[in-house]
A and B are shown apart, each in its own frame.
Chain A
Amino acid sequence: MNCFQKEIETLPRKEIEAIQLERLKWTVNYCYNNTEFYHKKLTEAGVFDGSKIKQLSDIQYIPYTTKDDFRDNYPFGMMAVPMKDIVRLHASSGTTGKPTVGVYTKEDLDIWSDCVARVAMAGGVTADDIIQISFGYGLFTGALGLHYGLEKVGAMVIPASSGNTEKQLMMMRDFGVTGLVATPSYALYLSEAIKDSAYPLSDYKLRLGILGSEPCTPEMREQIEKNMGVFVSDNYGMTELGGPGVSGDCPVRDGMHFAEDHFLPEIISRETDEPLGEGEVGELVVTTLTKKGMPVLRYRTKDVTKLTYEPCACGRTHARMSKTMGRTDDMLIIKGVNVFPTQIESVLISMDHIGPHYQLVVTRENFKDSLEIKVELVNADLLESYGELDKLKRRIEDKLKSVLGLQTKVTLVQPKTLERFQGKAKRILDLRNQ
């Protein structure tokens, strides 16, 4: 078993929960005593220093923390230690206003890289690997997070950053790169570039793809694996929780293992905000259990998923979360139907003749919403018959209808005309409020 901290990662459920309860009490007490923000929040909720917490389910008395709280307390309002103890700052891309800031003590960084090392090894990385990190470096947690975690495993890290496709491929060939770290969409883009390039796949030594920072559907994963000849593992995290390393795929890939001794996951109802049970689909809420620089209580991730506590076939016992089914905030509501872009992506990737890139355009006319899906026609086989091409379009529309329960309009466009993304893909164009 390729495992970074085997003893912890395979603890019996009872022992994991005992550790969690002890650390939850500590975290609540720590937040109450060290941040004005939580002191006020916990006082208002009647939880105070957490001495009344007797069991894990008592977490329900603690108020949620949201992205708005981070925004309102920007940049250092939620920090729990004096500035001299902080050794690193990261921030999210901040597509909507101010970025979200995360700060780390030395100990935080050490635990963070442990968590990333667990994810990396669960994904197959060993000390023999040469890993190219094609995430954009900078404030973003992804690149440096993976960087230090992979070094901890003992792998050789190439901090390639993103951009310049030719150079990316050259480095892969020349340095004998065995693993790629990137967003799924950038990995797909690079894998297409490899396919189109003058060098055969045998010139590459790639065997692993460690992808994260945006959802990756099984179909997209399959395509990347096919194009590049790699085994892809997905991992999960966010700036508010310290970055990647929160959870990640193991070789079984039946849910991503949480680092449950450092993060306490819950699922809550999207409608009522009430806690849900194992296997139920809802919004993921996470409490950090060991963070000192910027601890977080019950953070609402807006990611929709479900949890299972069944021990995994890989031997790990920590809870697993399913691949995110979308975010509560990029979930499109069209004619009252909830639509996750990942559902559409799954359909598109499973179809022949078209490429994996797409754009969703939502418009409203006469108070009626409509969803247009632009996809690239990549195969010239159907051009002989106008009817065949029209049938392809209808086939995609029919399949989407059966998956989404919604009539959509598919538009075929020329290849390589839809925008490619090197970071998080922005595929939705919602024109309804303009």
Chain B
Amino acid sequence: MAINQLSVFVENKKGTILTITKAIADAGVDIRALSVADTQDFGILRLIVSDTEKAKAALHEENCVVSATQVIAVSVSDVPGGLHQVLEYLAEEDINVEYVYAFITVSGKHAYVVLRVEDNDKASALLQSKGITLVTEEDIKAL
């Protein structure tokens, strides 16, 4: 049970992220979660949006380099140790997490967290067996 994520190449110069957020806003798409990895030269902006295809098309129009991939997202209890428990389950099974970032909005007493792992199916099955709730595309649209 995976969800769509967009990765966008970001040049390290003034206004680049602005171009991206504007293109998405103009397309009428909501940003649900985002994270930027950067160095001096360039960065990669990762996004979970309300309409992946629409956002991707809008970014292509702006000559952005964009790729869409699948990641998993979990709903964790908004209490100390909530995320830690999830990561521990994955560590026990030797599932490596490449990066993690959280959603901007939270739903009630739960926080949504994006996890990038090598094998989405394996991680999903494991987490579900441990009683962790996975976030679906429907959940994201409903936010």
- Residues of A whose CB lies within 8 Å of any CB of B are 377-381, 383-386, 389-390, 393, 411-417
Task: Give chain A residues whose Cβ lies under 8 Å from the Cβ of B67.
Answer: 380-381, 383-384
B65 near A383 with CB under 8 A, answer yes
Chain B positions 35 through 69: 1 when the CB is less than 8 Å from some CB of chain A, otherwise 0: 00101011010000000000000000001111101
Our pick among A385, A393, A414 for the contact of B41 (Cβ within 8 Å) is: A393
Q: When A378-B65, A389-B42 are in contact, do A383 and B98 touch as well, CB less than 8 Å?
A: no
Interface stretch (choices B6-14, B103-111, B131-139): B6-14
Can you give 6 contacting A-B residue pairs, CB < 8 Å? A380-B67, A384-B69, A393-B41, A414-B11, A416-B63, A417-B11
**Best-buried of B9, B11, B66, B98 by chain A (most CB within 10 Å):** B9
In the docked arrangement, what's the CA distance between A415 and B16, Å? 13
> Which chain B residues (58-96) contact chain A, with CB distance < 8 Å?
63-67, 69
A377-B65 in contact given A385-B98, A386-B44, A414-B9 (Cβ < 8 Å): yes
Give me 14 other A-B pairs in contact (C-beta within 8 A), A377-B65, A380-B9, A412-B41 excluded: A379-B65, A381-B67, A383-B8, A383-B66, A384-B7, A389-B9, A390-B39, A411-B42, A412-B11, A414-B11, A414-B16, A414-B63, A414-B65, A415-B65
Chain A interface, DSSP helix/strand/loop, else mixed: mixed
CB distance from A386 to the nearest CB of B (A): 5
Determine which of B16, B44, B64, B98 lies in contact with A389 in the assembled complex, contact meaning CB atoms within 8 Å.
Answer: B44
Task: Kindly state the separation between the CA atoms of A416 and B62 in the bound complex, as whole angstroms.
Answer: 10
Q: Which of B9, B39, B65, B98 has the most CB of A within 10 A?
A: B65
Chain B residue with the shortest CB-CB distance to A378:
B65
Q: Which residues of the other chain, A, contact B37 by a CB distance below 8 angstroms?
A: 386
Q: Nearest residue in B to A386 (C-beta to C-beta)? A: B37
Q: Give the distance to chain B from A396, nearest Cβ to Cβ, in Å.
A: 12
A35 to B66, CA, bound (A): 64
B11 contacts A380, C-beta separation under 8 Å: no
CA distance A389 to B64 in the complex (A): 15
How far, in Å, is B72 (CB) from chain A's closest CB?
15
Residues of B within 8 A of A (CB): 7-9, 11, 16, 37, 39, 41-42, 44, 63-67, 69, 98
- Does the CB pair B7–A383 fall under 8 Å? yes
Determine the chain B residues whose CB is within 8 A of the CB of A414 once the complex forms.
9, 11, 16, 63-65
Q: Which residues of A contact B41 (CB under 8 A)?
A: 393, 411-412
The CA-CA distance from A380 to B10 in the complex, in Å, is 12
Residues from chain A with Cβ under 8 Å of B8 in the complex: 383
**Min CB–CB distance B91 → chain A (angstroms):** 20
Say yes or no: B11 contacts A383, CB within 8 Å. Answer: no
CB distance from A397 to the nearest CB of B (A): 11
Closest to A413 in B: B11
CA–CA, A215 and B16, complex, Å: 34
Residues from chain A with a CB closer than 8 A to the CB of B16 are 414
B42 surroundings in chain A (CB, below 8 A)? 389, 411-412
| A381 neighbours in B (Cβ, 8 Å) | 67
Residues of B within 8 A of A378 (CB): 65
How many angstroms from the CA of A383 to the CA of B39 in the assembled complex?
14
Which residue from chain A places its CB closest to the CB of B42 in the assembled complex?
A412
Which residues on B sit within 8 Å (CB–CB) of A415? Answer: 63, 65
Query: Which residue of chain A is the closest to B5 with respect to CB atoms?
Result: A384
Kindly provide the distance from the CB of B47 to the nearest chain A CB, expressed in whole angstroms.
12
Query: A381 vs B68: C-alpha distance in the bound complex, in angstroms?
Result: 10
How many Å lie between the Cα of A99 and that of B9 in the bound state? 43
Cα(A393)–Cα(B44), bound, Å: 14
In this complex, what residue of B is CB-closest to A381?
Answer: B67
Check if A380 sits within 8 Å of B65, measured CB to CB: yes
Taken together as a complex, chains A and B put the C-alpha atoms of A161 and B82 apart, in Å, by 67
- Give every chain B residue within 8 A of A416 (Cβ-Cβ): 63
Shortest beta-carbon distance from A90 to chain B in Å = 38
B11 surroundings in chain A (CB, below 8 A): 412-414, 417
Chain B residue nearest to A412 in the complex (CB): B42
Per the bound structure, the CA–CA distance linking A207 and B133 in Å amounts to: 60
Instruction: Give the distance in Å from the alpha carbon of A386 to the alpha carbon of B9 in the complex.
Output: 10
A362 to chain B, nearest CB (A): 18
- How distant is the Cα of A383 from the Cα of B64 in the complex, in angstroms? 12
Shortest CB distance B120–A (Å): 13
CA distance A320 to B13 in the complex (A): 47
Quote the shortest CB–CB distance from A364 to chain B (angstroms): 20
CB of B74 to closest CB in A, whole Å: 20
A385 to B44, CA, bound (A): 9
Cβ-closest chain B residue relative to A411:
B41
Chain A residue nearest in CB terms to B99? A386
Q: When chains A and B are docked, how far (Å) is the Cα of A79 from the Cα of B66? A: 59
Closest chain-B Cβ to A337's Cβ sits at a distance in Å of 23
Who on chain B is nearest to A380 by CB? B67
Contact call A417/B9, Cβ cutoff below 8 A:
no
In the complex the two chains form, what is the Cα distance from A412 to B64 in whole Å?
A: 12
Most buried by A among B16, B42, B63: B42
Q: Is the CB of B63 within 8 A of A383?
A: no
